[in-house]
Amino acid sequence: MTPPSINTRMLIAAGLILAGFLSITGITLERTYRVSAEDALKERMMIHLSVLIASLDQDEQGNIHMVYALPEPRFFTPGSGLYAKIIKNNGEIPWSSPSMLGMEISSHESFSRGDQNFEHIFSASGEPLLSLSIGLTWGEHDAKNEGYTFVVIEDLGRINQQVKHFRHNLWISLGGVTVVLLLMLTLILRWGLTPLRKAAKEIGEIEAGMHREIEGEYPKELSGLTDNINALIRTNSEHESRYTASLGDLAHSLKTPLAVLRGAVETPDTSIEALRKTTEEQIQRMDQIIQYQLQRAATSGRTALTAPINPERIANKVIAALDKVYADKKVQGNLTVNTTHELHIEEGDLMELLGNLVDNAYKWCQGHVDITLSLEHHHGTRLLIEVADDGPGISQELSDKVVQRGWRRSEAEITGHGLGLSLVSDIVNLYEGELKVKQSPLGGALIQIYLPL
């Protein structure tokens, strides 16, 4: 299964977060609305109760009378949803509002003077109601039986209806907000991911051979990637042209020895001895050509993504290997390391470079080889590799040729001692370094290689 696209991931994540966030908002808003609606209702009920109390008075017999008419018409309309009654603490009900007609509301406990209470109750028919009860006495009578409990009851149906209505509107608008936000997010994502899509398209076009590299301008988050891809493509094509050139050179230079061989075979009275000699010579020639051209093609060169390596580690490996190979000669190979600086070079190339240099030194020395790694600061900071031996040294003629940049070797020159050095020279040129051949203080050759870090 392919992993979900960045678009899908972002939308799923944003959708989940929005849903959670908006649900909590919705629930909180709804609850707050309900509380404030009930608070308003309670306040109104208090006013109704105060008006009711103010409209009554007690006569000498202790009976209560309606002195003023109640201003609220709902008390007089049956089923209006607003009810009131007065309960004497001995259980008598001296007054109840006409709106209570036909209503059965369970009797209330008697409240002592000053007590008041809101209570959620249900009518006999099961409708939700809110009742406010308050205990009162007339005058100084404090006896419990003399007290009254005033009750005002309001139907909660209306308020429930309001809350329901509010909830409906609330969820519709929240849903709308969610949809709009997700749509905007989709647009933002599309805009934000445009460079990625563009890069993918450009890479596709490179694959199709329409472009050579990624050309567009990219935001800084992507430019590192696209620059590296371009560098990779460039290295790749450099490699490719080097391979092609090497293959061409290889094929061409093999033709000559092949022609010599064919000539020898087709010459009628060539002796077996002469044939053997010619074959042996030409095999050696072909071997050297192949060795040289293949090693040249195998050299990687600096790429954009070459990891830095520690030259000391490679030098130690090469010296350990050569100590084994030249065990009989008992060469004193000394490595002096004056820098811990790392070098951006392909490991195989550095090994090839050091292998050829140190192998030559071991081969030609009498017993001493000094290898030194240090930093040099004349032309920018560069790594200096020095290999010195106490052998016969290198002829002026050969060293002149080797240090010449872009020196094209004829077949005759890529033999023997010069082969290793010419490969080294190739690698050094590839890394834009410098090669010097000098007289070593030990008496033999001193090869100096400068490589940019």
Q: How far is the CB of 261 from other proteins (least distance, A)?
A: 15
Beta-ladder partners of 136: 148
Q: Which is closer to other proteins, CB of 324 or CB of 379? A: 324
Q: How far is the CB of 420 from other proteins (least distance, A)?
A: 10
Q: Which is closer to other proteins, CB of 43 or CB of 328? A: 328
- Identify the DSSP state of 112: P
Residues that bind other proteins (CB under 8 A): 283, 287, 291, 294-295, 298, 317-318, 320-321, 324-325, 327-328, 330, 347-348, 351-352, 354-356
Distance from C-alpha of 351 to C-alpha of 357, rounded to nearest angstrom: 10
Q: How far is the CB of 351 from other proteins (least distance, A)?
A: 5
Q: Are 394 and 448 in contact (CB under 8 A)?
A: no
Q: Are 278 and 313 in contact (CB under 8 A)?
A: no
Among 441, 438, 445, smallest CA distance to 417 is for 445
Beta-ladder partners of 120: 130
Q: Which is closer to other proteins, CB of 41 or CB of 424? A: 424
Q: What is the DSSP track for 177-208?
A: HHHHHHHHHHHHHHHHTHHHHHHHHHHHHHHT
Q: How far is the CB of 262 from other proteins (least distance, A)?
A: 20
**Paired tokens of 262:** 């064919």
Q: How far is the CB of 13 from other proteins (least distance, A)?
A: 48
For residues 77, 83, 86, 87, the Cα torsion angle rounded to the nearest 10 degrees is: 120
Q: How far is the CB of 310 from other proteins (least distance, A)?
A: 15
For residues 171, 176, 180, 186, the Cα torsion angle rounded to the nearest 10 degrees is: 70
- Count CA within 13 A, CB hemisphere, residue 426: 24
Q: How far is the CB of 188 from other proteins (least distance, A)?
A: 51
Q: How far is the CB of 317 from other proteins (least distance, A)?
A: 5
Q: Which is closer to other proteins, CB of 269 or CB of 328? A: 328
Dihedrals φ, ψ of 300, to 5°? -80, -45
Q: Which is closer to other proteins, CB of 42 or CB of 344? A: 344
> For residue 91, what are the contacts with CB-CB under 8 A and spacing of at least 6?
107
Q: Which is closer to other proteins, CB of 47 or CB of 325? A: 325
Q: Are 292 and 422 in contact (CB under 8 A)?
A: yes
Q: Which is closer to other proteins, CB of 85 or CB of 296? A: 296
Q: Which is closer to other proteins, CB of 181 or CB of 297? A: 297
